[in-house]
Amino acid sequence: MKYAVILPDGASDEPLPQLGGRTPLEAAAIPHMDWVARNGRLGRVVTIPPGFTPGTDVGTLTLMGYDPRTYYSGRAPIEATARGLATTPDQLIFRCNFVHLAEGRMRDFTAGHIAQADAEALIAALNEAVFPGECCAFHAGVSYRNLMFLADAGGMDLDLAPPHDIADQPVDRHQPRGRGRERVMAIMDRARGLLADHPVNRRRRALGEAWATDIWLWGQGVQVPLPGLRQRFGLRGSMITAVDILRGLAVGMGMDLVHVPGATGYIDTDYEAKGRAAVQALEDHDVVMVHVEAPDEAAHQGMAEEKARSLERIDQAVVGPLLEALRAQGEFRILVAPDHATRVVDKAHNGAPPPFCYAGTGVGPGSGRPFTEAEAAAAGVMIDPGHTLMDEFLNR
């Protein structure tokens, strides 16, 4: 049996006036996802358990079959695993975003989707700087998504806001809270002064580009070991993604990472290259997972039409070729499952249970319904707790 899992990040949404009162899933032409839904099991899944902040970290951990109440510590530790970084017992790992603040608001949580070389130069400058009284180390990630390790942090208990959930909002409402907030705020304040006159930022300002005014620390935690995919199910898996959160989960699960040139983690990603890589990975893997960040990024930018277009491209370039290849190989199953909702209206993640569908060998009678939020709700299936869905998909 061959298995394929497609993860269209943040695909779920609400009806939008820009799309004639339809959701992006309803507005998009997605015949292959609709085939999976019509010919298989369709419903909704609780990817964000009560008490957790909606995000790719918690949502995808759930979809991979891990209970966040046991295995989730924070987003940053998962990304550190992707980069082969490990903590000492007294350290916390933080996500360190480069952001652009103006007039006291979060104007761009990506600092203009800062180029990799620019981000690496700024990370190097932060590591060369002196942070009085602090033992911290910065590590480059992908574009604006970076990490910071902080020592002597075992006693910290912080509430830190994800920057992508406060787009255009006053940042004073979302300052760090909890035990250790003064340390975090001092590091962010010191970084602001260091970044202001860096040559990278001077050049970006001169070109009229968004520049990295600040670092924003969040997603903190410690690393938690995961039982592997082979250990749990006896299957060899591969992951295709352009973002570290998925890479970290894949590494923790013992999956092979497939590097795809042109995969960016943004709306300009090479969908066709991801589809080709997925089909090729089927040849020597039991489970192939493909994550596409584009729908989530489009929603964070408030772009309804682009979100619908990204879903169409995923359907055409990834789901379609995988379906064709799976059918040719014999017994198979295919799952389509967003990790959470990302609403265009407020550019933020939402914890409402997203739709899922899967079809293939031994699944049983189909729902007869297309793949939309409303049809998934009408199907009357709710997977709760959500981490049981993967076991159902692989073993049902």
CA distances from 59 to 29, 30, 73, 342 (A): 25, 23, 13, 12
Q: Over the stretch 375-385, which tens digit does the pLDDT of each residue have?
A: 999 999 999 99
Do the Cβ atoms of 315 and 31 come closer than 8 Å? yes
Looking at residue 3, what is its pLDDT? Answer: 98
**What is the per-residue DSSP string for 191-257?**
HHHHHHT-HHHHHHHHTT-----EEEEEEEE-------HHHHHS--EEEE-SSHHHHHHHHHTTPEE
The span from the CA of 66 to the CA of 194, in Å, is 40
The span from the CA of 379 to the CA of 112, in Å, is 41
Domains of the chain, earliest start first:
2-70+226-395 (3.40.720.10), 92-221 (no CATH)
What is the pTM (predicted TM-score) of this model?
0.89
Looking at residue 17, what is its pLDDT? Answer: 97
Q: Which residues contact 371 (CB under 8 A, 6 or more apart)?
A: 25, 30, 33, 34, 36, 37, 42, 336, 355, 357
Which residues, given as ranges, of the chain have pLDDT below 50? none
Reduced to 3 states, what is the DSSP secondary structure of residue 136?
strand
